[in-house]
């Protein structure tokens, strides 16, 4: 039997259960589907002391080895994440022992990835500097604020940059694992694995993890909240910087600063994301032509529609419609 791909998933107290078991199950099913003639996956769970960890759901996971025992090369190293509820929202859990270990161990992995708020640990270890990355939409703004060298995109369900992968977490960890299976063995095995697991065939990494307006956390200042909802409902309106600032009765400079502080992005980038979301919905309904989709979503022309899909989703409107 060919040697297996070694997958190590790092866990620590408070992690989301599905961040570990979701990808592990994908790799396990892919191994069974691949059969004995192709290399499968050998999954190990590593913790600081090798003991069990209690997940956020209360379920305990047993470790296979300690972090110190992760010796030799690793094919795929994944870092799970944890989020805590605090008085004013949520915050990612940063396990400093894991962060310190990652700084030395990451270079031994052919492929490195994070699940959910695990991106915060990769960032704290300096492994995302200069790279595009995503994480759970609830903590994306914090990741961007605390690690300005990381190009945070809160929209896609997973992002790949060379050997480094990040994902939104929870079920999207399974989508990322399927994409890794496709990279290793081709689309046919990934498709067969998805079918065996009764998963959606394969969600594109560029698919939005959450509705654009709902990705903005609430605050006592509801001007930006109301504006974001209005943008989502009126994508074909004049959404220029000047028009949006006038709608909130603010100067363009103050509006831009306030908007970026509230949403962790610029007005222009937010408007494009909202228009892209509107275009996706129209394409999923199948009833509109591409010129009609471009006009109704506010993107204007089919050429602009294509450019936006290519740049932000890595696909074409026609391919998106076929998939979704």
Q: Name the 3-class secondary structure at 301.
A: coil
What's the rounded mean pLDDT across residues 222-246? Answer: 91
Q: In this predicted structure, what is the pLDDT of residue 221?
A: 54
Where residue 202 falls among pLDDT bands split at 50, 70, 90? very low
Longest dimension (CA), the chain: 68
Residue 273 CB partners (closer than 8 Å, separation 6+): 155, 208, 212, 265, 312
Q: Is the pLDDT of residue 254 over 70?
A: yes
- Across the chain, what does the average pLDDT equal? 89
Which helix (H) or strand (E) element contains residue 77?
A: strand 74-79
Q: In this predicted structure, what is the pLDDT of residue 261?
A: 86
Q: CA 234 to CA 238: how far, in whole Å?
A: 9
Asked whether the beta carbons of 112 and 122 are under 8 A apart, the reply is yes
For the chain, percent of residues with pLDDT exceeding 90: 68
What's the rounded mean pLDDT across residues 193-201? Answer: 81
Q: In this predicted structure, what is the pLDDT of residue 230?
A: 92
Q: Name the 3-class secondary structure at 76.
A: strand
Q: Tokens 């222009």 belong to which residue?
A: 268
Residue 305 CB partners (closer than 8 Å, separation 6+): 279, 290, 293, 294, 297, 299, 317
The pair of structure tokens assigned to 267 is 């007005």
Q: Name the 3-class secondary structure at 127.
A: coil
Residues 46-87: pLDDT tens digits?
A: 999 999 999 999 999 999 999 999 999 999 999 999 999 887
Asked whether the beta carbons of 272 and 231 are under 8 A apart, the reply is no
Q: How far is CA 296 from the centre of its chain?
A: 28
Asked whether the beta carbons of 296 and 289 are under 8 A apart, the reply is no
What's the rounded mean pLDDT across residues 273-296? Answer: 88
What's the rounded mean pLDDT across residues 195-209? Answer: 64
Q: Residue 84's CB: how many other CB atoms inside 10 A?
A: 12
Output the CA angle 80-83-86, nearest 5 degrees: 165
Q: In this predicted structure, what is the pLDDT of residue 207?
A: 53
Residues 29-53: pLDDT tens digits?
A: 999 999 988 899 999 999 999 999 9
Tell me how far CA of residue 86 lies from CA of 89, 90, 123, in angstroms.
5, 5, 21
Residues 293-310: pLDDT tens digits?
A: 999 999 999 999 999 888
Q: Is the pLDDT of residue 13 over 80?
A: yes
Where residue 210 falls among pLDDT bands split at 50, 70, 90? very low
**Distance spanning both ends of the chain, measured CA to CA:** 38
What's the rounded mean pLDDT across residues 6-21? Answer: 96
Q: Is the pLDDT of residue 23 over 90?
A: yes
The pair of structure tokens assigned to 246 is 């006038």
Upper half-sphere CA count for residue 278 (Cβ side, 13 Å): 26
Residues 135-177: pLDDT tens digits?
A: 998 899 899 999 999 999 887 889 999 999 999 978 899 999 9
Q: In this predicted structure, what is the pLDDT of residue 283?
A: 87
Q: Name the 3-class secondary structure at 229.
A: helix
Q: CA 216 to CA 254: how far, in whole Å?
A: 18
Asked whether the beta carbons of 48 and 97 are under 8 A apart, the reply is yes
Domains (range + CATH), the chain: 5-196 (3.40.50.880), 213-323 (1.10.10.60)
Q: How does strand 164-167 pair with strand 109-114?
A: parallel
The pair of structure tokens assigned to 91 is 């915050």
Tell me how far CA of residue 317 lies from CA of 19, 164, 290, 302, in angstroms.
31, 27, 8, 9
Q: Tokens 């103050």 belong to which residue?
A: 254
Q: Is the pLDDT of residue 315 over 90?
A: no
């Amino acid at each position: 039997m060919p040697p297996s791909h070694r997958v190590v998933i790092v866990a620590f107290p408070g992690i989301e259960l599905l961040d570990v078991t979701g990808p592990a199950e994908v790799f396990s099913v892919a191994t069974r589907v691949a059969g004995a003639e192709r290399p499968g996956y050998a999954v190990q769970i590593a913790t600081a002391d090798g003991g069990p960890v209690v997940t956020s759901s209360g379920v305990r996971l047993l470790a296979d080895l300690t972090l110190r025992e992760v010796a030799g090369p690793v094919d795929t190293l994944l870092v799970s994440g944890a989020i805590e509820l605090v008085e004013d929202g949520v915050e990612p859990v940063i396990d400093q022992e894991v962060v310190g270990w990652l700084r030395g161990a990451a270079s031994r992995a052919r492929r490195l990835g994070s699940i959910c708020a695990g991106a915060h640990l990769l960032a704290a270890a300096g492994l995302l500097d200069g790279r595009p990355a995503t994480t759970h939409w609830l903590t994306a703004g914090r990741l961007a604020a605390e690690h300005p060298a990381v190009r945070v995109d809160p929209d896609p369900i997973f992002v790949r940059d060379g050997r480094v992968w990040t994902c939104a977490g929870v079920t999207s960890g399974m989508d990322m694992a399927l994409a890794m299976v496709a990279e290793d063995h081709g689309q046919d095995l990934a498709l067969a694995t998805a079918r065996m697991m009764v998963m959606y065939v394969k969600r594109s990494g560029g698919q939005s993890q959450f509705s654009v307006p709902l990705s903005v956390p609430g605050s006592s200042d509801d001007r930006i909240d109301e504006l974001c909802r209005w943008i989502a409902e009126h994508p074909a309106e004049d959404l220029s910087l000047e028009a949006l600032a006038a709608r909130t009765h603010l100067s363009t400079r103050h509006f831009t600063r306030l908007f970026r502080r509230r949403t962790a992005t610029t007005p222009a980038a937010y408007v494009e994301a909202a228009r892209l979301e509107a275009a996706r919905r129209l394409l999923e309904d199948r009833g509109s032509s591409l010129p009609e989709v471009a006009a109704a979503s506010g993107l204007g022309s089919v050429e602009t529609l294509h450019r936006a899909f290519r740049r932000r989703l890595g696909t074409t409107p026609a391919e998106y419609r076929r998939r979704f």
